[in-house]
Amino acid sequence: MDNILKVAMAQIAPVWLDKMGTVEKIKNTIKEATNEGAELVVFGEAFLPGYPFWLALTDGAQWDLKVNKELHAHYVRNSIQIETGELDTICKLAKENSMAIYLGIMERAKNRGGHSIYASLVYIDANGDIKSVHRKLQPTYDERLTWAPGDGNGLQVHSLKQFTLGGLNCWENWMPLPRTALYGLGENLHIAVWPGSDHNTKDITRFIARESRSYVVSVSSLMNQNDFPRDTPHLDAILANSPNVLANGGSCIAGPDGEWIIEPVLNKEGLIFQELDFDRVYEERQNFDPVGHYSRPDVTKLVVNRERQSTVEFKG
């Protein structure tokens, strides 16, 4: 059944800004997905260790505000440096269970000095190898106060059974050229990761599926006031302006015809499973293929720079 892929969407809350606690939750989720026969499990944007909700709640744009500086430092300390092996236990578990994983992390990138952080989407294959790390190209609105912009190095696709997988972070999914780059690489199962809420997923998921004639799996996290750890710095300041529900989920799947397979799921924590049949991709590409028979590269063509960016280049 090489044409059938069982996907698990992890619509769960992180142990917010606690990387060790969140890693343990990820490992338990992988084990649960394995027990249900899933071959791919997807976690939301910035899931490890969580989304910077405080920026919209603590006057995040104010200069030299102590609460924001201290929360930012706490965030960076709980972000992930891949080069030092901080994803090794997750990779080992992927290999042991032959599980492919898309995981949204905050990456403290060593090749950019190790102090700035990137919203990165990591793909780990079923052999436990990290095959790509896509740093979000353009942080959205208040995210720019704590996240750095990424580069094109992670605009890559991966084979899993008959499927070709690619992924983007949150509002990157609205950017037509990164989408086109993935289409051009043969993507037919698009992974869209989000911090949460159906206002993000309810329109774009079906739109991308319809445009690309691919499956689109949108995975969002959950977050409410009870999910903030009691030892979070400046918790009182965060909760003072926080709604009870900050992220209601909205994870969903659209088929290659742009119709719902799973409509946005709200306020329900846990794994959501679905089997996908690759044959549906070929059926819908019969009348439209955005980078194949329904394209005109002699008129319009995209050029992509996939060089990993760094401030310093050492020679000799």
**Residue 306, in any domain of the structure:** no
Find, among 56, 147, 164, 151, the residue nearest to 105 by Cα: 147
Q: Are strands 270-277 and 189-194 parallel, antiparallel or unpaired?
A: unpaired
Q: How far is CA 294 from CA 37, 129, 175, 315, in A?
A: 37, 35, 20, 45
Question: How confident is the model over 293-311, as a mean pLDDT?
Answer: 95
Asked if residue 19 belongs to a domain, the reply is yes
All residues at 6 or more sequence positions from 42 whose CB lies less than 8 Å from its CB, including other chains:
7, 8, 9, 10, 101, 102, 103, 191, 193, 217, 219
On whether residue 308 sits in a domain, the answer given is: no
Closest Cα to residue 228, out of 238, 217, 218?
238
Q: Which two tokens stand for residue 304?
A: 């992509």
- pLDDT at residue number 167: 98
On whether residue 298 sits in a domain, the answer given is: no
Check residue 233 and give its pLDDT: 93
Residue 39 belongs to a domain: yes
Q: What is the mean pLDDT of residues 194-210?
A: 97
**298: which 2 tokens?**
């002699």
* pLDDT at site 230: 94
pLDDT band at 1 (very low <50, low <70, confident <90, very high): confident
Assess if residue 296 is contained within a domain. Answer: no
> Does a cis peptide bond (omega within 30 degrees of 0) precede residue 178?
no
The catalytically annotated residue of 19, 39, 91, 136 is 136
Query: Would you say 17 and 232 are in contact if contact means Cβ atoms under 8 Å apart?
Result: yes
Is 24 part of any domain?
yes
Share of the chain above pLDDT 70, in %: 100
The reported pLDDT for the residue numbered 297 is 95
Q: What is the pTM of this model?
A: 0.97
DSSP for 212-274, please give it: HTSEEEEEE-EEEGGGS-TT-TTHHHHHHT--SEEEEEEEEEE-TTS-EEEEEEES--EEEEE
What is the domain extent for residue 167? 4-285
| Distance, CA of 192 to CA of 86 (rounded, Å) | 24
pLDDT digits over 236-263, tens only?
999 999 999 999 999 999 999 999 999 9
- Phi/psi class of residue 29: alpha, beta or left (left: φ > 0; alpha: ψ in -120 to 50)? alpha
pLDDT band, residue 316 (cuts 50/70/90): confident
- The DSSP result for 18-54, as a single string, is -HHHHHHHHHHHHHHHHHTT-SEEE--TTTBT---GG
Is 45 an active-site residue? yes
Which position among 45, 107, 172, 187 bears the catalytic label?
45
Residue recorded with tokens 């050492």: 314
Q: For residues 136 and 155, give the distance between their C-alpha atoms in angstroms, rounded to a whole number.
A: 10
**Selected residue with higher pLDDT from 59 and 22:** 22
The mean pLDDT value for 258-274 works out to 98
Mean pLDDT of the residues in the chain: 97
Q: Which of 245, 239, 140, 242 is nearest to 197 (CA)?
A: 245
By the 8 A CB rule, do 140 and 150 touch? no
Give pLDDT, residue 313.
Answer: 87
Please give the tally of structural domains in the chain: 1
Residue 312 lies in a domain: no
Confirm whether 6 is a catalytic residue: no
Q: Does 86 participate in catalysis according to the annotation? A: no
CATH of the domain at 161: 3.60.110.10
